[in-house]
A = this chain, B = another copy of it.
Amino acid sequence: MSLLGIDLGGTKLASAVFTEEGSLLSRDSILLEGRTGEAVGKLVTSRIGILIKEAKSNNHNIDSIGISVPGISNTRKGTVWAPNIGGWESYPLMAEVNEIAGDIPVIIDSDRACHVLGEVWMGSARGCRDVVFLAVGTGIGAGILVNGELLRGSNDVAGAIGWMALDRPFRDKYSECGCFEYHASGEGIARVARDLLAENVTYSGMLRNKEPQNINASDLFNAWEAGDPLAKEVIDGCIEFWGMAVANIVSLFNPEKIILGGGVFGPAVKLIPTIMKEAIRWAQPVGVTQMSLEASSLGGDAGVYGAGYLAFKNLNTLSLTKK
């Protein structure tokens, strides 16, 4: 059996063919190069068409296709909302892919859902049934597995953990992206640093050498490594927010594992023991001793692995339904 996993990101399209045991048969990646709207749809379908043909010529048919999208997949309508792809407010991806896939079953899900599935299949959370993938990149989202099943919610928008309220009172600046994401996403780290640079006129450390609008999370981690006091203030704040978020996941979901991933983990992986200490202060005390906090082991590949596992799970669900 061969499974095709497609991971559509905001800037590139990754594809991989897997065996049902999760071994990689082939993989590739193409940049979107500024494509928007239907041009992105065309890139996805043409890639799928090529890979189906290639597989045939190698005598291993594709049996199932899973697609990870950078946004929300409306499972009832077959449409995708992807804020970083122009014209993808309600894009009919399922219909387009079905046309090229023919009889091969297709399933589409959000990147956050695929991240957790990838880690459960071949990564840090292998075999877990209750596990949360907390993705901290430009934004913040969570892929949540409850008793082995993806938590979707009533309208496919569950896991929007970037909106978690953690710091009262409400401030208007939270209304664009949510309180947690405002303070502790990749963008948030840079934003908080800019605010502090503006307030703190006497600071003359290394971050003063950059144009404030060009400062990014990476600069903050570098400055923090070098012992910069302003960077320390920003990162300490993030540790507090990440610890509170981990604690809230523990108290609500009682998972076996929480996996930290996304671009920020990355450089923030070394902070995991400190984040765990903060989480222990806040969380339900029994649940927190039953949880292990770990870095993603698949990193940037979690999405494409998750799309492959999504394809695998879908095939099993379909065969159960037919019985």
Contact = CB atoms under 8 A, between A and B. Distances in A.
Interface of A: 129-130, 142, 144, 146-147, 149, 151-170, 174-175, 178-179, 240-241, 244, 247-248, 251-256, 278, 281-284, 286-287, 290
B240 A169 contact: yes
A168 B239 CA distance: 12
Contacts of A168: 166-167, 240-241, 244
Contacts of A149: 146-147
B254 A163 contact: no
Contacts of A167: 167-168
Name, among A130, A252, A281, the residue most crowded by chain B CB atoms within 10 Å (CB to CB): A252
A290 B147 contact: no
A299 to B, nearest CB: 25
Contact of A251 (B147, B164, B240, B284): B164
Contacts of A157: 254, 284, 286-287, 290
A165 to B, nearest CB: 4
A161 B251 contact: yes
Nearest to A247: B165
- How many copies of this chain does the complex contain? 2
Contacts of A278: 170
A175 to B, nearest CB: 7
B155 A290 contact: yes
A15 to B, nearest CB: 29
Given A164-B248, A165-B244, A253 B284 contact: no
A283 B290 CA distance: 29
A281 B255 CA distance: 28
Contacts of A286: 155, 157
A248 B159 contact: no
A95 to B, nearest CB: 22
A302 to B, nearest CB: 20
A287 B252 CA distance: 18
5 contacts: A160-B252, A160-B284, A165-B247, A165-B248, A178-B284
Contacts of A130: 153-154
A255 B147 CA distance: 18
Contacts of A241: 168
A77 to B, nearest CB: 14
Contact of A163 (B154, B283, B290): B283
A153 B253 contact: yes
Given A152-B147, A153-B130, A287-B153, A158 B253 contact: yes
A155 B287 contact: yes
A170 B161 CA distance: 20
B179 A142 contact: no
Contact of A160 (B160, B178, B254): B254
Contacts of A161: 251-252
A153 B129 CA distance: 9
A281 B170 contact: yes
Given A163-B283, A281-B175, A282-B179, A254 B170 contact: no
B252 A252 contact: yes
A147 B75 CA distance: 14
